[in-house]
């Protein structure tokens, strides 16, 4: 483990990029998911079909293929993206499709009676969605969203394929330098585990606060 301690700063830098990619992708994926979920529930027939097609295509293809299409495929059409930009776009689009199903189910779990009551007191459909439906749906969505979040944290290791120096890529570079694998792989496994525990703790606190509020 001496080699790990000697190169700990380098591994921590890789962990920082792992967290950054995860947070940025989750941020944009959250809004994509919310829009897609609402489109599937409230949109007209064409919008619903487009939203369903997006979810079906993204969920039905490997994230690695999606990453290759964005990073290696788009340059064929003159659109060249940097490794980080390609990672953000690919992961955001991917997580948006999965989270949209979580959000859609959570929104449907809110009783129609509450929607009807909100409309009857003069709230607009958008106000009803924003003030009544979404806050209650959030409580239902938090646990599965947490699982998706942690899954995304681990899937960031795939972006090493497009030369993003996140945690796994950092370990691989050190292994190539020292010709020793086990200490570095064990070290990054522990770091992934600690980050997962941290996110789980944060989401559990958020869930408890929402449970008290509603």
Residue with structure tokens 């609402």?
38
From residue 114, give the alpha-carbon distance in Å to each of 53, 93, 126, 209. 30, 32, 14, 21
As a whole number of angstroms, the distance between CA 145 and CA 30 comes to 10
- What domains can be seen in the chain, in order of their start residue? 2-213 (1.10.3720.10)
As a whole number of angstroms, the distance between CA 64 and CA 107 comes to 30
Q: What is the pTM of this model?
A: 0.86
Average pLDDT of the residues of the chain: 88
The string of pLDDT tens digits covering residues 83-140 is 999 999 999 999 999 999 998 888 888 877 777 777 777 777 777 777 777 777 877 7
As a whole number of angstroms, the distance between CA 189 and CA 172 comes to 13
pLDDT score for 3: 86
Pairwise pLDDT comparison (206 vs 190), residue with the higher score: 190
């Amino acid at each position: 483990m001496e080699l790990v301690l000697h190169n700990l700063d380098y591994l921590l830098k890789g962990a920082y990029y792992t967290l950054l990619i995860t947070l940025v992708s989750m941020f944009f994926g959250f809004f994509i998911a919310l829009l897609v979920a609402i489109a599937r529930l409230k949109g007209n027939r064409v919008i619903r079909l487009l939203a369903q097609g997006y979810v079906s295509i993204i969920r039905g293809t490997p994230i690695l293929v999606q990453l290759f299409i964005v990073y290696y495929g788009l340059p064929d059409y003159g659109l060249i993206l940097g490794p980080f930009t390609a990672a953000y776009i690919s992961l955001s689009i991917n997580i948006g499709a999965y989270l949209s199903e979580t959000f859609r189910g959570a929104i449907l779990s809110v009783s129609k009676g509450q929607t009807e009551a909100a409309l009857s007191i003069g709230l607009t459909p958008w106000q009803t969605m924003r003030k009544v439906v979404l806050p209650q749906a959030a409580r239902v969505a938090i646990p599965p969203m947490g699982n998706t979040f942690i899954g995304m944290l681990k899937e960031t290791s795939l972006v090493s394929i497009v030369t993003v120096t996140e945690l796994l890529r950092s370990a691989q570079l050190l292994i190539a330098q020292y010709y020793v694998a086990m200490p570095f792989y064990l070290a990054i496994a522990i770091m992934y585990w600690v980050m997962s525990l941290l996110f789980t703790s944060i989401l559990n606190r958020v869930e408890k606060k929402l449970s008290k509020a509603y």
